[in-house]
Structure 1
Amino acid sequence: MWGSGAAWWSVREEASRQVLLALYLRDRIGIEAPVELPRLQGVIGVADGTALRELRHSPHHPLALHGPHHAAEAPEAQPAAPLPFELMAEPARSRLETQWLLWWATTVEPERFPSPVPLELAPAFGDLVALPVRGAELLLEAITPYAEAAVAWSDAAARRFADYQHEPRGSLKLAYAGLIAENERMHGRRARVFELTVQLLPLAASGAWWIGRNTVAMTDTLRRDPIGFSDALRPIIAELA
């Protein structure tokens, strides 16, 4: 986290595994919301052949039982495979999207969206996914078949950005401070007290998008572009400061 000497403002950059995981599962399931936020780079939805093969080989998917070594097992004893999002009928699609959006909000800014009911860890995801004990059943069913792939992908993505984040960043800190100083000169006053979290995400399109009251998603390509970085952050700083 960076801040001014007088603690008037603070900026934190992250590559949260929980945020990465939620977006990966959004893309694999095929949920469209939030429509303004691009898909992840290189992550293809369930209609993709690779995704379907992973689903069939998942222990949670009954198609995995159709091989010769499992002929004696009864498919009806296994959990049913969730339909791809685009094939689900209403109102199931709306319920699933609503449950994902609630989970997304609590993942991005958990302090602003405390759960009204107790949370429970989803076993297949270790300690990375905590869902309400009631009201998230459809979401849990939809995401569980992708648990192994999702955890592996989010771990690799977080490591990539962790290495990037730990590089010397004095110039980047100055870039944030410079934009805030510019805003102060424009308005003739000190910046308001604010906190900003920047989630560095491997999105397919370069840019910056609000994903919470004090949180933006930013691509690493934009972060490495000094002019594009300043142009994208200027209206964000203006709104907060």
Structure 2
Amino acid sequence: MYEFRGDGWHVSAQSHGQMLLALYVRDLAGIEHPGLPAIARLAPAVKPHAAAEFSGYHAAELRQEWQDWWHRILHHDEREETAFSPPGFAFFADSPTLQRLLRAHYGSALSWSRERLAEYSRVSAEHHATGRRRMLEQMITERALELEREPRPMQLKMVELPLAQRRAWFVDPGTVILSQDLPRDAELYRSFLEPVIRFML
């Protein structure tokens, strides 16, 4: 995890276990993701091995149940922290198709997510060691200096995930989901985050 605090602002960057699990399930089942924000596929790619298990009505039902779950995660439903209680997954009793999918594939989803979290620790440490994290700090400092007023208090949470596209998705004014590889491209990183900082400060 990365944190940067200043005079009235707090920025953090970290991964997110629940999002990793949800996106793994999405890709494993071949669920289309038309909702906003429409997050890219995972990297490394997760093959849609479970897609054949659902067709017709059940595929549509699964997509809606997954969308409801994703919405709860994005909007910080505190119940999500204790959502997984194998083998029954009682939290998903109102989402029977998703519940069935989780019962069948939770083990692989959990193993994959743990591997990605370990990988993220290495990636985040590399961003810090190479000075990539300072790009964000510089953007904030530059914006604060150019203002002719006091900067507004700012709380920005960046969720860094292993995604196939190097870009960012704006969830709400205080939350951004981005590819954990995005900081490797300084110009692209700035193009996505500078407008957010200008808006918030």
Fold match (TM-score > 0.5): yes
8 Å CA contact 1:208–1:216 kept in 2: the answer is yes
Residue 229 of structure 1 pairs with residue 189 of structure 2: yes
CA 1:175–1:131 in structure 2 vs 1: closer, same or farther (change >3 Å)?
Answer: farther
Q: Output the amino acid matched with 1:24.
A: Y
Q: Map 1:92-241 to 2 at 5 A.
A: 92-110=58-76, 113-114=77-78, 120-124=83-87, 132=91, 134-167=93-126, 169=128, 171-241=131-201
User: Which consecutive unaligned segments of at least 5 residues does structure 1 have?
Assistant: 56-81
Q: Output the amino acid matched with 2:162.
A: P
8 Å CA contact 2:14–2:159 kept in 1: the answer is yes
Partner Cα distance (1:124, 1:227) in 2: 46
Give the counterpart of 1:43 among 32, 42, 45. Answer: 45
Partner Cα distance (1:194, 1:205) in 2: 27
Matched residue of 1:40: which SS?
Answer: coil
Largest Rg, 1 or 2: 1
Partner Cα distance (1:12, 1:209) in 2: 16
Report % sequence identity.
Answer: 23
> CA offset at residue 198 of structure 1?
1.4
User: Which consecutive unaligned segments of at least 5 residues does structure 2 have?
Assistant: none
Q: Output the amino acid matched with 1:122.
A: S
| RMSD after superposition | 2.9
TM score, norm. by length of structure 2: 0.80
> CA offset at residue 107 of structure 1?
2.6
TM score, norm. by length of structure 1: 0.68
CA 1:155–1:95 in structure 2 vs 1: closer, same or farther (change >3 Å)?
Answer: same
Partner Cα distance (1:177, 1:219) in 2: 18
* Structure 1 residue ranges, 4+ long, deviating more than 6 angstroms after superposition: none
CA 1:182–1:157 in structure 2 vs 1: closer, same or farther (change >3 Å)?
Answer: same
Aligned length: 194
